[in-house]
Amino acid sequence: MEKKDKRNGDTADLRKRAEEKIRADDAKTRKKLTAEETRKMLHELRVHQIELEMQNEELRRAQAELDAARTRYFDLYDLAPVGYCTVSEQGLILEANLTAAKLFGWERKQLVKQPLTSFILNEDQDVYYRLRKQLFESGAPQVCELRMLNKEGNHFWVRLHASSVQDATGPAVSRVVMSDISERKRVESQREAALEALQKSHDELDSQVQERTAELAQANEMLQADIIESMRAELQIKAALEALRRSEENFRRLLDDLPLGVSVVTAAGETIYANRQLLDIYGYDNVEELNKISLKERYTPQSHAEFELRRKARDRGEFGPTEYEIAIVRKNGEVRCFQVFCKAILWNGANQFQALYREITERKWAESQREAALKEIRRKAKELREKNEELERFTYSVSHDLKSPLVTILTFLGHLEQDMTGMNKEQVKQDLGYIRIGAEKMSRLLDELLALSQVGRKINPPEEVPLQTIVKEASGLVAGRITERGVEVKVTKAEFVLWGDRVRLVEVFQNLLDNACKFMGEQKSPLVEIGVETKDGEAVIFVRDNGIGITSQFLPKLFIMFEKLNRSTEGDGIGLALVKRIVEVHGGRIWVESEGPGQGTTFYFTLGKTCLQKTKENQ
C-alpha cells in the first residue's frame, strides 16, 4: 500500500513539473498557429499521450515483476538449503539467512554483529584466517572446509565459499556460503578406515603372494636346473619350452591318475580344474557340466552354509581352515562325505585354491552307527536303572504288604487253637472270619501282582475299538460304584479309535473311573469327563473329575506301586501302577494335573501310534 501511494505521489509530481515546463516553453515560443497547425499539434500531442500511457503501463508491469522477483529472491535466500552470511570487512556478521541460523542454533538477530570467528573451532581458526587474507588480497572467490560450533557447543563440518563484494556506497563486504558436509566427512572417514583395512589386507596378501612366488621361483630354478642337466648342451630355448609343456601335461596326467579327487577353484567357488577322480565323485563328464550345477545344489544344506562362511572369511582377507569336512550331492542324488585339504596356489598366473578330496563316507556312516548304538545303550541303561529301582520298590512293597495278611492269619490261627481247646464256637467263628479276610487280601494282592506282571508279556491281539466302546465296557465294570455315588460320566462324541490290546485298554479306563468315583468327596454334582485333546500335534486322552483334588507334593507318588495317599480308602495301591504299565507297553506316557484340594483331578495319557482319529471321509 505504501509503495502504491509513493508511486501515485511520484506521478503527481511528475505531472506538475511537466505542466510548468510547457508553460515555460509556451512563453518562449508563443505565436499564433493556423487551424491546420493546431490540428496537427493536437494529433501529435494525442499520439505522444498514448505513447506515454503505454510506457507508464510497461513501467508499472516491470515494477510489479521486480517486486515479485524481489519477494522470490528473499524466499530463496531465507529458505536456501545452504547458509548465507554477509560479513563485514572487520569479520562481523551483517546478515544471515534462516539456514545459517539453524546451523548455528541461534536466531538471526542474535547472529548480527557477532564475529564469524566465534562460531569456528579454535583448531580451524587459521584456515579461516588464510581464506580471508587471500580473499581480500586477490579478490577471487575462495573455498575451504572447516569445523564450526553450534549453540550446544557441538562442532560440525562445513564447506565455506567466500566472495568479496564492493558496495558502490560503502566498504567491501564478503558473501559467505556454508554447506553442511558433516555426513560427507563421516562417510569419508569410514571410507578412509575401510581403505586402510583393505590396504592392510592387500599388503598381507601381497606378502603371501611374494613369498609363494619366491618359493615357486626357487622350485622353477631347480626344475630348470634338472632339465638343463638332462638335456643335451645344444638344446635351444625352444626345446626347453617344449619339455616344460610336456612336463605340465605329465603333471596334469598325474593328477588325473591320483586316487584322490583334486580341484582348483576360485574364491567364489567356481571350479576351473577337476581331475578325473573328482568328476567321477560328482558323477559328471567334464568341468563345464559340473559348473552348470550351482554350489547350493552340489552341497548338502549344512555344507553349503559352511562354504558361505568360508567364502565370507576369504572376502575379509582371511584364508580360513586348511582342513574340513563336506557332504556333496552327486548327479544321481546320492550324498557322500569327504575330508578336504585346501591351500592357496598360483594357477595360470592367478591366486586360486587347490583342494584334495578323501572320501570318508563309510567312516561317517560308522560314526553315525556308533553314535546311534551308544544312544541306544544309554537308553537301555537308563531303562534298566529305572526297572531295577522299580523292582527294588516292588520287592519292598510286596514283602511289606504280604507280611500284613500273613501276620493276621498266623495271629488268629493261634487264637483259633486256643478257642478250639475251650470250644468257644462264637470266638472260633470270629477267628475264622479274620483268617478268611487275611487270606482273601493275600489272594487279591497276588492276583493284582500277577495281572501287573503279565502286562507286556501276555498280549491279546491288537484291534481297532472306538473310544466310546472302551469307556462303555469299563463303565459297566464299575457301574455299582458309579450308581452308588451318583456320578455322571460324559464321553466325547468325537469319532476316535484306539488301536491296541482291548482288554488292557478297558482296564485303564476301569481303574481311572474307579479312582475318580472313590475320591469324589462330598461333591453334590459328581462328574467325570472323558475326551481327547491335541497338544503339539499329539492326541492326548484325558479323564477329568471334579472331586477332592490332589496337593502338588503328592502328584509324583500316584503311580508308585502300593503307594496310597489315604490308607482308609479301598484298594491296595496297585491300580494306577497297572494303568501306567499298560500305557507304557502301548508306547505312551501318563501324567496327572490338579490345581489343589477341592479343584478336581485330570489324568492325561497318550498311546503312541495306537491312537487313530477317523473322519467320515476315511471310514
Q: What is the pLDDT of residue 176?
A: 92
**Domain 237-354 -> CATH class:** alpha beta
CA 437 vs CA 179, 440, 534: distances in Å: 107, 5, 46
67 three-class SS: helix
* The pLDDT of residue 69 is above 70: no
Hey, which of 165-169, 251-255, 354-358 has the most confident mean pLDDT?
Answer: 354-358
Q: Cell numbers for 342, please give them.
A: 585346501
Distance between CA atoms of residues 125 and 118, nearest Å: 9
Considering only residues 47 and 452, tell me which one the structure prediction assigns the higher pLDDT. 47
Does this chain's domain 366-451 share its CATH topology with 459-613? no
Q: How many CB atoms lie within 10 A of CB 601?
A: 22
Q: pLDDT above 90 covers what percent of the chain?
A: 14
- Residue type for position 264: V
Distance between CA atoms of residues 609 and 615, nearest Å: 17
pLDDT confidence band for 541 (50 / 70 / 90) = very high
Q: pLDDT above 70 covers what percent of the chain?
A: 71
Q: What are the sequence ranges of the domains in the chain?
A: 1-27, 32-79, 81-180, 237-354, 366-451, 459-613
Q: What is the pLDDT of residue 597?
A: 87
Residues 6+ apart with CB under 8 A from 600: 544, 545, 546, 547, 549, 594
- Cα–Cα nearest to 275, from 283, 286, 291: 286
* The pLDDT of residue 616 is above 50: no
* The pLDDT of residue 351 is above 70: yes
* Fold that domain 459-613 belongs to in CATH: Heat Shock Protein 90 (3.30.565)
Distance between CA atoms of residues 351 and 443, nearest Å: 88
* The pLDDT of residue 298 is above 70: yes
Q: What is the pLDDT of residue 11?
A: 60
Residues 6+ apart with CB under 8 A from 593: 555, 601, 602, 604
Q: What is the pLDDT of residue 261?
A: 82
CATH no. for 366-451? 1.10.287
Q: What is the pLDDT of residue 234?
A: 60
Q: What is the pLDDT of residue 178?
A: 92
Query: How many residues can be counted in the chain?
Result: 619
Q: Cell numbers for 446, please give them.
A: 497276588
Asked whether 550 and 558 are in contact (CB, 8 A), the reply is yes
Q: What is the pLDDT of residue 164?
A: 87
CATH no. for 81-180? 3.30.450.20
Distance between CA atoms of residues 613 and 500, nearest Å: 14
Distance between CA atoms of residues 396 and 383, nearest Å: 20
Q: What is the pLDDT of residue 615?
A: 37
DSSP 127-192: HHHHHHHHHHHH-S-EEEEEEEE-TTS-EEEEEEEEEEEE-TTS-EEEEEEEEE-HHHHHHHHHHH
